[in-house]
C-alpha cells in the first residue's frame, strides 16, 4: 500500500516503487513483512552508504533481536505496541538499555526509509518510548595517576609497550592506532595525523576514513612519546622486519609480526595480563583513551582543546562523557578572578 496526498504524488510514488520492485529493492503490497523490508533496507541502503562496522552492527541487531519477534509482522499492521513490547521483552531478558536503544535506532531508521518510499504512511517508531540511554562517564573508567605509574612499570619491555604508551599519550582509539602509518608521524614536529581507522569486516579488514570531519585531526606528541616512536621505528626496521618470513608493505606503525594489521583481541588479552601483574583492576584498551582525556582536564585543559584532541564532533559530547572532570577546571578558572576583588583593585 502506498500513501500520498495528491493523485499526482501517488502516481509518482507508484512509478518509483514499480521501478524499485523491478530492481529487487522493494516488495510492495500488504503481504510485505518487516523482515523482508529490513533485509532489503540493509542491503540497498545501509551497506552502500555506511561504514562496514555500522552495517554489521545493524544486521546483527536485526537478525538476533528484531526478526525473530517481529519479522513476520506485515508492515501495514506494524503498530507502536509491537515495538514497545519488544523493548520490554529485551530489557526483561537482561539486555542493556543501550543495546535496546540501538535496536530502536535500527527500527526507526528503517521505518523512516519505508515512510519516505511511500511503503507505510507513518513511522510507528516515532510513537514509542525507547529506554533512556545511560549517561556516559569516561572518568569512571580512567586510570588514576598512581595506577598509570604502576602500569608503565609492568608493561616495560612488552612487545605491545610502544602501542600502549602511544594510546596513553594521544587518546587514539585502537582502530586509529592500528591504522596509523609512518607517513602520518612527524617525529621532528612531534605530531601524529589521524587520517583513517582500521575496521574489521567479514573475511578481513578495511581502512576507513574518520566518521566526522573532526575525527581527522593532528595530535601533538609529548617528548617521551616521540622518543618511544623513534625507538620503536628503529626496532621495527632492524629487528622485526628482519625476523619476519614475509612482510606486508603497508607502512603500519603498529603491525603484527608480518606487517599486517593488528587484531584487538590478542592485544587486549595481553593488556589484561599486564594489568593483573601490576595488581590493577581489569580495563579495556579504550580506557587508555579515557585516561588521556581525564588527565588533560586534570591539567586544566580547556573543554574545546580536549574536544579537538579527542576528535569529538561536539563539545557537549566531551562535556557529557567527562562531566565529573570539568568542575575542577571551571572552579580553578573562577578562582583566578579573585585578584580582581583584592582591596588594592577596588
Q: What is the CATH number of the domain that holds 235?
A: 1.10.443.10
Which of 282, 304, 336 corresponds to the end of one domain?
Answer: 282
Of 127, 152, 182, the residue at which a domain comes to its end is 127
Please name the residue that has the C-alpha cell 606486508.
248
Q: Which domain holds residue 113?
A: 7-127
Provide the pLDDT for residue 135: 54
Residue 119 lies in a domain: yes
Contacts of residue 75, Cβ cutoff 8 Å, sequence gap at least 6 = 32, 33, 34, 37, 114, 119, 120
The answer to whether residue 340 sits within a structural domain is no
* 77 and 104 share one domain: yes
Residues 159 and 215 in one domain: yes
Distance CA 52, CA 45 (A): 12
Task: For residues 105 and 13, state if they share a domain.
Answer: yes
Q: Are residues 191 and 271 in the same domain?
A: yes
Q: Residue 322 domain-assigned?
A: no
Residue 323 inside a domain? The answer is no
Closest CA to 52 of 206, 177, 174: 206
State the 10-residue block means of pLDDT for the chain, 346 residues long.
61 58 44 93 92 88 96 94 95 88 95 91 92 62 92 96 97 96 97 94 86 91 96 95 92 96 95 96 94 88 90 82 62 55 54
**Shared-domain flag, residues 151 and 177:** yes
> Which segments of the chain does DSSP mark as H helices, in order?
7-22, 34-41, 47-49, 52-61, 67-70, 80-92, 97-116, 145-154, 161-170, 174-178, 223-235, 241-243, 264-277, 286-298, 303-310, 315-321, 326-335
Query: Is this structure's pTM higher than 0.75?
Result: no
Pair (115, 194) in one structural domain: no
Domain membership of residue 49 (yes or no) is yes
Is the same domain home to 151 and 186? yes
Together in a domain, 229 and 273? yes
> Rounded to the nearest 10 degrees, how much is the dihedral formed by the CA atoms of 54, 55, 58, 61?
-110
pLDDT at 311: 92
Beta strands in the chain (DSSP E): 185-186, 191-194, 197-201, 204-208, 217-220
Q: How many domains does the chain have?
A: 2
CA quadruple 76, 77, 83, 86: dihedral sign: negative
Do the domain assignments include residue 313?
no
Rounded Cα distance, 87 and 265, in Å: 31
Q: What is the reported pLDDT for 107?
A: 96
Q: Are residues 54 and 166 in the same domain?
A: no
On whether residue 94 sits in a domain, the answer given is: yes
Residue 179 lies in a domain: yes
Which CATH number goes with the domain that contains 23?
1.10.150.130
Cβ proximity of 21 and 28 under 8 Å: yes
Rg (CA), the chain: 25
Q: Which triple of cell numbers denotes residue 253?
A: 606503525
Residue 117 and residue 155 in one domain: no
Task: Find the length of the chain.
Answer: 346
> Whose grid coordinates read 521483552?
89
Cell digits of residue 73: 509482522
Neighbours of 325 (CB within 10 A): 24
Cell output for 145: 595517576
CA distance 114 to 137: 36
Which of 259, 282, 305 delimits the end of a domain?
A: 282
Q: Per residue, what are the HEC states of 123-144?
A: CHHHHCCCCCCCCCCHHHCCCC
Same domain, 94 and 198: no
Q: Are residues 83 and 178 in the same domain?
A: no
Amino acid at each position: 500500500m502506498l500513501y500520498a496526498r495528491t493523485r499526482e504524488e501517488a502516481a509518482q510514488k507508484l512509478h518509483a516503487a514499480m521501478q524499485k520492485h523491478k530492481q529487487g529493492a522493494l516488495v510492495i503490497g500488504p503481504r510485505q513483512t518487516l523482515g523482508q523490508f529490513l533485509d532489503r533496507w540493509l542491503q540497498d541502503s545501509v551497506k552502500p552508504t555506511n561504514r562496514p562496522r555500522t552495517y554489521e552492527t545493524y544486521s546483527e541487531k536485526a537478525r538476533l533481536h528484531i526478526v525473530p519477534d517481529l519479522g513476520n509482522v506485515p508492515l501495514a499492521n506494524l503498530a507502536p505496541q509491537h515495538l514497545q513490547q519488544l523493548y520490554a521483552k529485551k530489557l526483561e531478558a537482561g539486555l542493556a538499555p543501550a543495546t535496546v536503544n540501538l535496536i530502536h535506532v535500527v527500527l526507526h531508521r528503517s521505518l523512516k526509509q519505508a515512510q519516505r518510499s511511500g511503503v507505510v504512511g507513518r513511522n510507528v517508531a516515532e510513537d514509542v518510548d525507547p529506554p533512556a540511554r545511560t549517561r556516559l562517564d569516561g572518568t569512571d573508567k580512567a586510570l588514576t595517576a598512581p595506577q598509570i605509574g604502576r602500569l608503565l612499570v609492568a608493561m616495560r619491555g612488552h612487545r605491545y609497550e610502544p602501542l600502549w604508551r602511544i594510546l596513553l599519550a594521544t587518546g587514539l582509539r585502537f582502530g586509529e592506532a592500528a591504522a596509523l602509518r609512518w607517513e602520518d608521524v612527524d617525529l621532528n614536529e612531534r605530531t601524529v595525523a589521524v587520517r583513517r581507522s582500521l575496521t574489521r569486516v567479514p573475511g578481513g579488514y578495511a581502512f576507513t576514513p574518520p566518521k566526522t570531519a573532526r575525527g581527522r585531526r593532528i595530535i601533538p606528541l609529548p617528548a617521551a612519546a616521540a622518543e618511544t616512536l623513534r625507538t620503536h621505528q628503529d626496532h621495527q626496521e632492524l629487528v622485526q622486519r628482519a625476523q619476519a618470513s614475509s612482510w606486508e608493505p603497508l607502512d603500519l606503525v603498529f603491525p603484527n609480526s608480518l606487517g599486517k594489521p593488528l587484531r584487538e583481541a590478542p592485544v587486549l588479552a595481553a593488556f589484561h595480563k599486564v594489568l593483573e601483574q601490576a595488581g590493577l583492576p581489569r580495563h579495556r584498551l579504550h580506557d587508555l583513551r579515557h585516561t588521556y582525556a581525564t588527565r588533560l582536564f586534570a591539567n586544566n585543559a580547556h573543554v574545546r582543546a580536549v574536544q579537538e584532541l579527542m576528535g569529538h564532533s561536539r563539545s557537549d559530547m566531551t562535556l557529557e562523557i567527562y562531566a565529573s572532570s570539568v568542575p575542577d577546571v571551571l572552579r580553578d578558572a573562577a578562582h583566578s578572578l579573585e585578584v580582581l576583588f583584592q582591596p588594592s583593585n577596588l
